[in-house]
């Protein structure tokens, strides 16, 4: 499979003989209903080509991913691992995935991870255990979370 190009939505649409918009609606869901026979053609084409949706493209279209970011000070601490487990269980009920970031209690890592989660368009970010008393850091974190 090395060197092979992944099938795109355009490839699926071409294979099914439908427009790109119809292929997108059939695969990603839409308020606009796709006729059953077209839905079947698109699904068959996607299966034949081994199509996998591009999470980055979907995030751009939707404005967010299916990811919830979780920042903890120390995942080996039972307090934080309990939070992580509970969040992962709840996220799964909603079709979401938790991305865990272990800050080690380092303010600069916390900011770096927050910025990365924002760039990746996380659906939500949970910050657990930030214990800095640095007012500047707290302000910068607040800006990252609210901007």
Determine, yes or no, domain membership for 41: yes
Q: Is residue 77 part of a domain?
A: yes
* Residue 76 belongs to domain spanning: 62-146
pLDDT digits (tens, 9 = 90+) for 69-86: 999 999 999 999 999 999
**Do 78 and 23 fall within a single domain?**
no
DSSP H/E element including 99: strand 97-102
- In terms of domains, do 13 and 45 share one? yes
Q: Where are the alpha helices (DSSP H) in 29-126?
A: 36-49, 55-62, 78-93, 107-119
Query: What is the model's pLDDT at position 68?
Result: 95
Structure confidence at residue 130 (pLDDT): 65
Total domains in the chain come to 2
For residue range 15-64, what is the model confidence (pLDDT) as tens digits?
999 999 899 888 876 667 888 899 999 999 999 999 988 777 776 777 77
Asked if residue 66 and residue 39 are part of one domain, the reply reads: no
- What is the model's pTM? 0.65
Q: What is the pLDDT of residues 92-107, one digit of tens each?
A: 999 999 999 999 888 8
Q: Give pairs for 1-4: CB < 8 Å, separation 24+.
A: none
Q: What is the dihedral of CA 114, 118, 120, 121, to 10 degrees?
A: 140
CA distance 34 to 97: 28
Q: SS3 for 133?
A: coil
């Amino acid at each position: 499979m090395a060197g092979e190009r992944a099938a795109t939505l355009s490839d699926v649409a071409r294979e099914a003989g439908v427009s790109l918009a119809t292929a997108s609606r059939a695969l990603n869901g839409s308020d606009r209903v796709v006729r059953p026979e077209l839905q079947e053609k698109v699904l068959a084409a996607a299966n034949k080509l081994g199509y996998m949706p591009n999470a980055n493209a979907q995030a751009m279209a939707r404005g967010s991913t299916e990811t919830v970011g979780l920042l903890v000070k120390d995942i080996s601490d039972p307090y934080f691992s309990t939070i992580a487990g509970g969040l992962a269980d709840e996220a799964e009920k909603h079709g979401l995935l938790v991305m865990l970031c272990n800050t080690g209690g380092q303010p600069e890592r916390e900011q770096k991870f927050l910025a990365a989660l924002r760039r990746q368009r996380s659906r939500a970010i949970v910050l657990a255990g930030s214990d800095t008393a640095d007012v500047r850091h707290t302000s910068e974190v607040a800006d990252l979370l609210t901007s």
